[in-house]
Structure 1
Amino acid sequence: MEFLVAVAETQHFGRAAERLGVGLEELTRWSREVERETGLGLFERTVRRVRLTETGTRLEAGALAALAAVRGVTTLVESLRHGWSGSVALAYVPGSAHLVRGLVARVERDRVGLEVEPQSMWGVRALGSLGRGEVSFAVVRDPLPEEGVESLVLGAYRDRQVAVASPGPLAGREQIGLAEFEGQGFLLTEREVGPAVHDATVRFLAEHGVAPVWRHHRLQEQDQQLALVAAGVGSALVHPHEDEVLHPGVAVVPLREQGPEHRFHLVWRADDTSPLVTAVIAAAEAMTTGRRAAQRG
């Protein structure tokens, strides 16, 4: 199966042999033997390259599925051997869902048998749950507790868009400046539940000399906040990562100014060295390292 896939991907016996670490003679002999044993024509050979026939391509699909299954079993054995079988709870703040989905997918891929159970909640509650041992991880914004935790930066974003009621005077704009919101309703998270979002939003508008009419709320989900926008309660800063940005009665328009930056941290208790926790940390480190490498490339 590995020989077949290598030949299909390289379209060359020599390059396939080099990738597999086998001799060219061994690979070409195998190609003749597999056709003879199966009674199928699998290869179209030319002087310069080799291609799979339609039959060979169908067989390759089966080989890829079988190899993936074998790798899955191997990974599961590794997970069980290292004590990675089980589940961990993770609390995450609004706005970080896209990062949490990426982390969960990475854990499922690299640590078969380990499940991450995400729970959405505001930062203060998330850190409280972490401290009480109700969850093993929290994804929160700055600031972080000064003692008792370890962390890594999982990602960052800027609020680059604003949600406004549609239809409405601002809904059809290609771009909106903050001055448009002077004296207008603007949604603001209560500080006691989301201090980072609250402070960043207030500071951002103040730095640009804009004084809106703040509409305080304690809503946790983006979709709930957008429902207030649709009802005409006020506008709201949003960013392009949220799936819930699309909402009936709401238009999302780019901001002329560069919005405040938010950093998301994966946080865990410093004294928690369990295999499940260290496995998730390793997956998060691999995910962030891979993202930085891709950005440099």
Structure 2
Amino acid sequence: MAAPEFEFIAYIDEAGDPSLKRVRPIDDKGGTEWMVVSAVVMSRERDMEAKQWVADICEKTGQSNDQVIHFKDLSPNNKLLAAEHLAGLPVRIFTVASNKKNMRQHRNERAEKIPSRQWFYNWLSRILIERVTDWCWRRVEKNSLHRRHVKFMFSQSGGHSYSQTAAYHELLKVQSSSTYLKKWVPRPEVMSMHLVEAHPHYKFAGLQLADIVASSFYQAVDYLDTGPCDPRFAIALEPRVALSAANQHRDYGLVLQPTPAWKADITIEQKAIFEHYGYDFTLPWWKR
């Protein structure tokens, strides 16, 4: 079956790792405390402009020699310049941030029945895909667009099987077609397993933009690898962070796991970025 014509492209990158066997700071040595997966969504027509957008960011941040953004290597001031420039572009931003302490040594036996070695990564991708496809479908309906599908472009990372990711994508489509009355399900109307690809991030400008987003939100919550939590870059992206139909960033453009928010065992500094985007960490009355 040939890939259908698509209207949108979602570029996806990550920060942190999906390891759950050992998780810092519970364990002295182990996986990252956070796993962040982010998407930058743009229209097919705008994708042709993305290479110039990256060139402009590289020029602003002094990386014009190779025309590839290396966000982690930038000074804090240049990171802020990069985020502010991205915030002025015609894209939409989605991020899922999972604090892994509550997932340490967790096994999802139901998910493991599906032949895959990456159920945790797939689960976070599903949360992201649910929001991305909802936003795309809303745009299709609002503007009566002829094309409706979204192409998913993943940044290649060691340890992931993207053939499994494409197969999981198709499974989500099938499951969502027979699922009713759930708050979040992927929108099968805009999905196709033939529109799932993976590439090195330096080969596509859109993947470099997704790296800016994932790294910005990661640095807002991480203090073990990147220094003190610094939410400035993620806050600067606010104009492009997607809003739900209820006009909220919370649980849409930015998703925190675990949920509800009060269950998250995180510091005041880590909570700051989520509170900025509408999360409330107040304990319910029956827990006080």
* Same fold, TM-score > 0.5, yes or no: no
Higher-strand-fraction structure: 1
Larger radius of gyration: 1
Q: TM-score, normalised by structure 1?
A: 0.26
